[in-house]
Each structure stands twice: as C-alpha cells, then as structure tokens.
Structure 1
C-alpha cells in the first residue's frame, strides 16, 4: 500500500477544529430530531439525555450544566444562550464531560459480604522493576501499584546473612534485593491512597525462625492498629471488605506447615509443558518491556522455577518450632497441604484459607474439577499466579481464573499487554476501589453451581457503533506517528469473557486519515454479561511490517453508559493519552 505524503507547516500545527461538516450522519440526524430552528434547547437536551443517552435520572439541571460548561466567554460569538447548535452539540458528545463510565459513580457494590465473594486486584512479585531474573527489586513498583488501586502485594522474603536482616528479592535469581522494612513503610504510606478497602500482603517466606520474629516486630511497629489480627482460633469466615476498611492483612503459610513434605512432580511437569504451550493463548504474544531472553533460560531447572507454595529443603529443616508472634499476625492462612487436588479443594466448615495454583495447575484442574473449584472459592480464597517460565514478566488470560471464582488472579505489573489491559478494565468497575463483587452465578451452591463450559442462553446483546476517532495528530509525540504521513487506521472491538462470549471484530481500514470515520456497527450476544469486558484497540495497518499500535482501552460491560460516548484511549502501558479518543455508541438490546 502506497503512502501519500506531504509537508506540514509546523508553525501552524494546532488542534484540528471539529467542524459541523465532520459530524457523522447519525449525529446530524439526532441533532435534527431534537433541535428547533438549528438549536437544541435545554428541555430538548434533557429529553435527549433520557431517551438516547439512557440517563433515566437526568434532570433539567443536568442539561443546563452541560450547556453552561460549553458557554465560556470565548464561545459567546458561537453559542446561542438558549441552547446548542450542531457544532457544539457534537463538541459535547466528543468531549471529556461525556465518558463511557459515569465518573460520579463510586463504590456501588454491596461490600458487606465475606472477602471470598469479591475479585481482588492482585499483583505478582510486586517488588520487581522488570524481568523475573535480573531486574532490580524496589519499593517503587509497589507504590505505583497501590496508587493504581492494586490491593494485594506480594513480597518474597529472604535472609540477608551479612546484616542479619530481611531482604525482598526473587530467590535464586540475579535480582538485586531491597530491604523488607523499606517495602513495609512504603505500603503503610500508600496503602489507602487509591482505595479505603483492605490491602493484603502475601509473603513467600524463606526465613529462619529468629528472622521470622524480627519480621513480626517490623510488621507490628510499621502498621500498628492498622493491622488486622485474627483471634487465636483463626477465621471461620472471612470478614467483609467494609469491615476491613483501612486494614492491612498478612497472608502466608503458618510456620509449622513448612515441615510438610512437598510434591515436586507437578512443578516439573509444569515447566516441561509450559515450554510447549502458547505464550498467551487467544491473547496473542504478550508485549514486555524487558524482552531479552536466552535459550538457556528455558532450561532452568525445577529449583530455579520455584513459586509461592514451594519451599526448599533448607527452609523446611529450619522450621523446627513455630514462632508464635509471627504466626499470630497471619490473618489469611495459605498452603496446599498434603495430598493432591481433591485434598487441596477440600472444604473445612471450621476454618477458611487461601490456596495458590499456577496458571497451568488451574487449567488442568478446571478440566476435571471446575465445580469443586467454584465451590471452594465461595468460602475460601484462590490465588492464581503466572507459570514459572514467564521470565520476561509476561502474563496469562485472567478470565480463566475469574470464571472459576478465583479472587486473587495475580499478574506481573512490570510490562504491558492485553492481559493487563483486561485486568485494568475489570477493576475500573465499582469505583475503581480494587474490589469487584463476584456475579451471583458464582455464588450458587448445590446443583446450581456454575459450569463455565455449559451452554447458556443469551441474556443481553451489546450493540456497539464505532463512529470515528481523533487526537493522533496533535498527540503525535505520544503516539509516535509521522506527522508528514496520515495513518491507515482500523479499530478492533470485542468481548473478553466466558468462552461463549469471547469475540473480536474489526472495522475496515481507512487510508491516509488523521480523523477516521468508520461508522460501523457490531453486535455481541452475552451469556454472562457480569463477566464481559469490552476490549477496544486501534492500529495502523502496515503491509510490510507489524501494524503500529494506536491506542487501547478495556471497559466492564456492566458499567457502560448507554448512548453516544467519548471513549479515551490509553497507550500500551495503560497510561491515558492526552487527546486520543473514539466516538462510540453503546446499546443493550
């Protein structure tokens, strides 16, 4: 495909003015339906909000607020005080005041159920700045995660024999350590900067008992009354997120469980099978900031590919006596225990706990024990973590865990890719507080336990119209497009959800156009709309090379506002662009 190029006078570079003629035909038609004498009055704008935008609770005052927000002094020569003309009606629809998720909608899920009834925004190896083998360990990614709403922070704690102290690092690798106390203090400072709901610290513990006592002292001194400490009998049921507001919880194996034997066969098989599996299945290969990876790294032995619930022989031998002050702080007891999958998933009416499975362990278990997993997660917590050979900090499809009731689907936050886009989309729900209540279908018991593979009837259909996009030209420094050559954009729109609902569709490619007008309609039947996430991507077609990235976002279908909305796009790392957005319409039919 040839590219038509031309020079641009840089002294005249400025934001394109969205003229009336650029409004899509459907927008013009709606304007004609609600306008009189070329103007939409306040009353008619209110009617438009109720009838088209489906804002049933909208008031005349809301319509007046929209009109007044556009009636700045610099616009007095354009506006009629009695209403909006076509150009300004279009400006409202494509403006920042018309997002796809209501910015005023805060926490609205019932937060009084047990913790096990919620998905929790969870990080994996939260202290790493890059890859799993040689990057620095730091409190900086922990701070960033908390500021972004992450509620579960993982710390791997190891002895620093030189200083008789405790470090955080990825053991048996070349990662450089960071002091545990520094991480704890940063968690204390930033724990509730984005959300008041509880923070869980999961510890992968490789310490001798005298350092466990030191960790207990550090935790007590750092968090004080903020720390949630269960009674001596442990928890028979998890408290609710509401009851745990502004509390920090510790989750790890009770020390005495380190004495139990470990079956290494599952992990060895995981490494072997992981080499043969697709990097990210239906998502395509993940993109990672740290892409370096040698063939030798695929041959790391089982010991180097250890994960959360694995303890080496030295660790087990060192745990001869449980440290009471350390054990007392553990609010969420973790561990697989002896035996196989049936034992791991066994329900205990007298206590609750956390089980950790790798992504491959979960995939295998889901084939034969899907209902047992879901039943387990109705009272207990299930944490899913990336397979051991994801050395480049890539990720897996989080929907696999969520559709089986897993609360803590842990992803590497260091890189970027579709899995993280979907994760962020999920936790945009419920006011971005880091807790999303699980669908009722995952909480049914007995014969009604949800089967993710069952063929279910369609509950609703999401109709999506992609009108147009804009903002790439005057945001070119952030999108890296050539200002001399207009891009050939296309959009991809689809659903991430249960297998029956997962689907991606694509618009046509429009050549040489900074403001593409696609005006295309798509329909997505949804059997489990509560787990459906709307994925949106824009790319530039490149015949000779990989298509260039143009923006993305992911939105929970349950939170979408119907009507015509301006959808801001983000870069690959999930950071919002300054100006890039799409004009879209959402309808549930």
Structure 2
C-alpha cells in the first residue's frame, strides 16, 4: 500500500508551500482584483427596499462576502459555484421597476442555480458594474470548466481555509478535530491523532498545506476502489492496456469497444506521463476515470440528442409546467417572469398562462380569484421570446387559459404577433390539413398557441362561423374544475377571431370519450384532464387512452385542491402515453425528480420519444398487464451499494454527523413499483461503506425510472433528505459506477457521490 499512498498524494498539485488553489491565477485579472478590493453596491429587493452593502471576493477566489455597514459583525456569504449567470442591465422585474432612478449601465442581477432567489445589485459607477459583471462571469466560467483533479484540489483547499481559524497557514490537532466534524466524519481521538502524526512529517505539531493534503488522502483512502484495481492489476501498481481492456469488457460490459476505449481513458485520465508512455493506468488515473462522467451511472451517449426527432408530436413525452407564472403556492404566491425563465432553462417545452382582463386595457396573468400577485401578459410574451430557445431548439407550446373578454383577447393576439413575430406559428406548415401532427424537428424554433378556436382548420376561411364557443369548449382547459372559480359557467362565451386564428395544431376541446375521439377527432384537437380524471381513465381504459395518445395530445394538470402547489406522480400518466404531464416546477420533491430524471436524456431538449408500444395506434399494451405485450422481456436489476463519498451535512450544528442509508426506488408500470434500502451507517457521512446488494425485477424497462435517495436515518422521527439522483432505466450503464448526487432543488452537490456496482441480466 505504500506505493498507493505515494501516488494518491501526488494527485494534488499545490505549488510550493503557499497553498494556492486552482482559482489562484484568476487573482491577477483586473476585474477580479477590483472584486477582491471590495465595492459598495446597492442590494435591491423592491422599489422601496434599496440598501447599501459592502461586497468583496475572498482570498479563495470563490466566496463572495457581504455585510451592512450597520450590522456590526454580521455578514453573509455565497459561493461562485452557486451562481449560474450574471444578467446585465434591467433584466429583472425589480430592476425594471427602478429603471427611472438607476440607469441600466449601473445594474446587474446575480442568477443562482435551482430555486434560490436572484440578487439584484446597483453599482456606483458603470466601470464598477462592468468589473463585477465581467469578474463574476470569468469566475463562473473557471468554476464550471475545472477538471476532476482541479475540483478536488479546490475542495481540499476550501476545507483547509475553513479550518485554519487563526489564518496562520497551519492547522493544529484541535483545528483538525473540528474540521473532521465539519466534514461529516466522527472519528475517535486516538485514531485521529494517529493519522495526524503520520501526516506531520515536520514534527511541528501542526500541518501545513502539503501535510494537510497528505492527511486528507489518508483520511479518504478508497479501499473499495483499490480492491477493484487489484483484481485486474498484475503487479498491484498499474493496469496495463490489456488489463484495463479486461476490466472494461468483464466489469463494465463494454464488449467489442473496450480495446479502443481503454486507450482513450489512459490518454484522458492518467496524470502520470510515465504511465501514459507505457500505455498503463495508475490507481490515480483509475479513480479519476471512475469519478468522471464516463464512469458515471448515466450512459454518456444518452446525454446527447440521440433520438429520432422526426415523428409526430404525439409520439413524445413533453416537459410541461403548470401555473408557470408562480414561484410559490397557488393562493398567496408571487407571480413572476423569473418563474418562466427558470422553467424554460430546465428544458420545459409547455408553459401555462392564465389571462384575465386588466384595468387599463392590458391583459394580466395571475391565479384567478386568489391573492397571487399579477404580471402583464405582454411581459410574459417578451420573456418567452428571449428565453424560449436558449436551452432547446424544439417547439414551445403556450397553453393559454383564457378568462378575458373579446377586447383584451384581441390585445393578446396583437402582443403575440408583434412580440413573437416569425417565431409564432400562425399557419399550417405545408398548407395541407394534417392527418397527423408535425414533428419536433419540423417545428424547431416555433412557439405554438394552445387555446380554444372558432371552428377547425378545415373552415379557416368560413366567415359565417360564429365567434361564440360552446360550454364544451369553455371547459376544454379545465377551468370549470377549479374549486376557486366563483363565476358560474356560461353557456356561451365570445372568442376573439384574431386570437382564434393563431391556434393551429393545438386546439383545446372538451373530451367526449375515446370512442367519439376515434370516430370524429382531428389530430390537432387536444384535451386537458385533471389528475383525478386522468387516473380514472387510466384505470378504466388504459389501452384506449394509449391509442388515443398515439394520435392526439393530452394535457394533464394538478388538482385545483393542491393549493400548496404540490404535485402528483407523473409516472401513471406517462405509462399511458400522455405527452403534456404538467407539474408545478416551483415545487421540489419526488415528482420533479422524476420529471428531471426522464428529461435528463436526449440533450435535456424537453422531448423524449415514447417507447414503440406507446406509439402504435393498434397497440395491445396495458400498464396493468405488461406481460401481454409483444416483445415482453423482463430484466433483473442488481445494485450493489458499495460506498458513499463526502455526503453533505443535513444539520449544520458543529457536532452533528449524519447516519446515512441508501434507498433505491423504481417507478414504472404498477408491477415495477418497488423500493429497497440499505442499513444505516452510524456517524459517517464522509466515507460510509455499505456493501449491500438490492435486487429488482423490471417488467417494462422502457418506462422505468430509477431513483437513488440518500437519507439521514432517525429512529425517532422522519429521515432527513441528503441527496438523490434519478434516471431512466434504459440510460443506466452496468458495472462499477459513481452516482453524482443532486440537492432537493436538483442542483449538483460535488463531490458527494455513491459508488455502486450495477448488473443487468435477463430474468428467466
């Protein structure tokens, strides 16, 4: 093992004894220098809340610190790694509201990952604003482009900085003991002192940065990785090319491509030039490969756009949002343009707008008959124009729940035409009445309006048609099912012809039953179903629902009783081929984990091709009887949960250490729903080892999602959530894999991971 430790410590490259991190070079950048010197910026929360705060970038090059001049010793910090982008100028509702007071060249917005609120700032001069805008952008780029080794360097350096309380560049044993608690590891004093002494080469009773790195490496020894390495290494020191090929073929199940891949992995991950020249991989390189994206559980090829995008829209699951305008609950929540931006950035391709008559002739958007705040319809359309295609080129469906009178409906139509221009689809693609819906490929870069329509595509030029729509169509978007609606349903409601004419492939229509649809429905007619109605139809006529969904679009929306903006489980709806399964994107939890998991594949483009048995108009498939379908081939999934790495703390109290357990959950057809979990490990969130195997039988692999959840065990109350990762079963790579955990918000929490060995085989 001596060679093992020598090689492990060599992975870290802190130049000299100065303890520099990989962000260090950035400190010489003129913009970053200004940030480190500090600036007084106005933090703005509303038109009336504008307060001066002193901001500066700390020595680590990653932490932004700020405080009020009057707050005594109190201050706040956040990391550059939490930031997604910087928006320049008046690019938030708050900054727009004070545009007359502060010009755009002083203003900028820090945008955070996940659901964390943005920070709006105003600088004292345009030059200072630019320094912060450009400086933060450079730091974000640097943080995002660090390789695995740099990330680990940075992570260790950050811990050293946190633990070195007196900032003397050294750590005594007392500081190290505190650090271990901070790092989520509980170790008896004798063992901790033994490791400390091993690392204290200078015999000074304190550790400098290189010694601390050595201590860290002893602490994080990955015996489980070393054992796998030993199984294939002839001399115990390195894997020769042929040995690595054997590992890839036997353990990682790579078959024929293993030879070529072995060479590529050595070139990509081996840090030692000597080993590279020998076409060999050291333990360092092996561990770096296993921790990389290629060593992750998610098939790299499925991360890219790998599916056929030329089939009718009805053949795809479409990432869809409900009440998109809300950032919180449905009774008192804040309506915001930011909610649309966040949903679109997450790959959402169907957004919802509830429009109502505004007092000054301008339509407004909010959750009707509630205390939610209001935003202008035209501002939402402007936001849509800017952000619709930043994450994905494929079409966006604008689902309009229209409560406006004819006059303001016409205003909406004008805004849609003028703001969206050519982006808005207003005519048939080829001038022909369609027999099937166009494809995502054909509709690239287009926004489609989903709303009620006077007549059909066949009678577009029929001027004799009345502009009244029947009660059936009034209920088409599900308004009548809302428990908050105070108005009695009208027997007829007027529709603006200008707005009606903008509806092409997504005409909202009340559902009259599967038989009626089979005989009379057009492919461009679509219905909305409440979750309860959709569940009932799924149980009573699952196969009919699937056939209906091969030709027409279905939109499912959460029950109006979910005033807390909670979500239903979307899996039941996907099982019968429903495409637009709308969720409250603002609400974190299992349901959004499943949505993110399904749409993580195919370049996160918001469209996922349904399995062939959900695209066949004559299908016999029933989710309740998966064994009845042609090509039925159940699989056995075996997951050995080996270990965890650097799990985050749940309780930030200094003495609190997690007791982690891992649960694997399967979501799919009813027969596939299953959960299995490991035992919990006491007081170790740093490097827990389970070595427990969980087994599952998957009857419909094409529909199954697998969710890995890590929790902090508590025998007296509910377990606390630590992290999760969800992916489609069909995207799983077999073999020894790392699962890079995500927070409740769905954002990365490096370097937290699970190490597993996955085996997939035929079930006979």
Matched ranges for 1:395-434 at <5 A = 395-434=567-606
Classify 1:349/1:493 alpha carbon distance in 2 versus 1 (closer, same or farther; 3 Å): same
Classify 1:189/1:269 alpha carbon distance in 2 versus 1 (closer, same or farther; 3 Å): closer
Aligned to 1:245: 444
Contact map agreement 2:275 2:281 (CA 8 A) in 1: no
Aligned to 1:450: 621
Match among 368, 372, 382 for residue 171 of structure 1: 368
1:506 has 2:677 as partner: yes
Classify 1:253/1:230 alpha carbon distance in 2 versus 1 (closer, same or farther; 3 Å): same
Contact map agreement 1:565 1:583 (CA 8 A) in 2: yes
1:96, CA displacement in angstroms? 4.7
**C-alpha deviations, 1:139-179, integer Å up to 9, x for none?**
1011111111111001111110x210111111111111111
Aligned to 2:559: 387
1:197 has 2:394 as partner: yes
Classify 1:257/1:424 alpha carbon distance in 2 versus 1 (closer, same or farther; 3 Å): farther
1:19, CA displacement in angstroms? 7.0
**C-alpha deviations, 1:198-252, integer Å up to 9, x for none?**
1111000111112222111111112222222233876432101111111111101
Consecutive unaligned residues in structure 2, runs of 5 or more:
1-175, 183-205, 455-466
Contact map agreement 1:357 1:385 (CA 8 A) in 2: yes
Match among 660, 664, 672 for residue 489 of structure 1: 660
Classify 1:235/1:159 alpha carbon distance in 2 versus 1 (closer, same or farther; 3 Å): farther
1:140 has 2:311 as partner: no
Contact map agreement 1:18 1:87 (CA 8 A) in 2: no
1:349, CA displacement in angstroms? 6.0
Q: Secondary structure at the match of 1:490?
A: strand
**C-alpha deviations, 1:466-511, integer Å up to 9, x for none?**
1111122xx54xx545453432110001211111011000001111
1:577 has 2:749 as partner: yes
Q: Secondary structure at the match of 2:469?
A: helix
1:385, CA displacement in angstroms? 0.6
Contact map agreement 1:422 1:533 (CA 8 A) in 2: yes
Matched ranges for 1:505-544 at <5 A = 505-513=676-684, 514-544=686-716
Aligned partners of 1:305 and 1:54: how far apart in 2?
Answer: 57
1:334, CA displacement in angstroms? 3.8
1:324 has 2:504 as partner: no
Aligned to 1:8: 178
Aligned partners of 1:177 and 1:20: how far apart in 2?
Answer: 52
1:561, CA displacement in angstroms? 1.5
Contact map agreement 1:493 1:504 (CA 8 A) in 2: yes
1:466 has 2:466 as partner: no
Aligned partners of 1:350 and 1:269: how far apart in 2?
Answer: 23
Aligned partners of 2:735 and 2:388: how far apart in 1?
Answer: 36
Contact map agreement 1:24 1:519 (CA 8 A) in 2: no
Aligned to 2:417: 220
Match among 231, 234, 254 for residue 32 of structure 1: 231
Aligned partners of 2:581 and 2:609: how far apart in 1?
Answer: 14
Classify 1:376/1:199 alpha carbon distance in 2 versus 1 (closer, same or farther; 3 Å): same
1:333, CA displacement in angstroms? 3.6
TM-score normalized by structure 1? 0.83
Aligned partners of 1:376 and 1:568: how far apart in 2?
Answer: 38
Match among 212, 217, 222 for residue 17 of structure 1: 217
Q: Secondary structure at the match of 1:573?
A: coil
Classify 1:227/1:419 alpha carbon distance in 2 versus 1 (closer, same or farther; 3 Å): same
1:67, CA displacement in angstroms? 2.6
Classify 1:212/1:234 alpha carbon distance in 2 versus 1 (closer, same or farther; 3 Å): farther
Match among 484, 487, 506 for residue 304 of structure 1: 484
1:42, CA displacement in angstroms? 3.0
Match among 215, 225, 244 for residue 45 of structure 1: 244
- Number of aligned residues: 535
1:118, CA displacement in angstroms? 0.5
**C-alpha deviations, 1:84-125, integer Å up to 9, x for none?**
333542343134552222345411111111000110000001
1:258 has 2:469 as partner: yes
Consecutive unaligned residues in structure 1, runs of 5 or more:
1-5, 271-301
Match among 299, 315, 322 for residue 117 of structure 1: 315
Aligned partners of 1:420 and 1:66: how far apart in 2?
Answer: 34
Aligned to 1:158: 356
Q: Secondary structure at the match of 2:697?
A: strand
Aligned partners of 1:263 and 1:202: how far apart in 2?
Answer: 14
TM-score normalized by structure 2? 0.65
Q: Secondary structure at the match of 1:130?
A: coil
Aligned to 2:73: none
Aligned partners of 2:344 and 2:572: how far apart in 1?
Answer: 24
Q: Which has the higher contact order (CA 8 A, sep 6+)?
A: 1
1:79, CA displacement in angstroms? 9.0
Aligned partners of 2:626 and 2:544: how far apart in 1?
Answer: 19
Aligned partners of 1:424 and 1:257: how far apart in 2?
Answer: 40
Aligned partners of 2:702 and 2:218: how far apart in 1?
Answer: 36
Aligned partners of 2:564 and 2:234: how far apart in 1?
Answer: 56
Aligned to 1:211: 408
Match among 137, 162, 184 for residue 381 of structure 2: 184
Q: Secondary structure at the match of 1:376?
A: helix
Contact map agreement 2:452 2:509 (CA 8 A) in 1: no
Classify 1:463/1:230 alpha carbon distance in 2 versus 1 (closer, same or farther; 3 Å): farther
1:553, CA displacement in angstroms? 1.1
Classify 1:303/1:252 alpha carbon distance in 2 versus 1 (closer, same or farther; 3 Å): same
Classify 1:176/1:375 alpha carbon distance in 2 versus 1 (closer, same or farther; 3 Å): same
Aligned partners of 1:545 and 1:128: how far apart in 2?
Answer: 32
Classify 1:352/1:98 alpha carbon distance in 2 versus 1 (closer, same or farther; 3 Å): same
Aligned to 1:127: 325
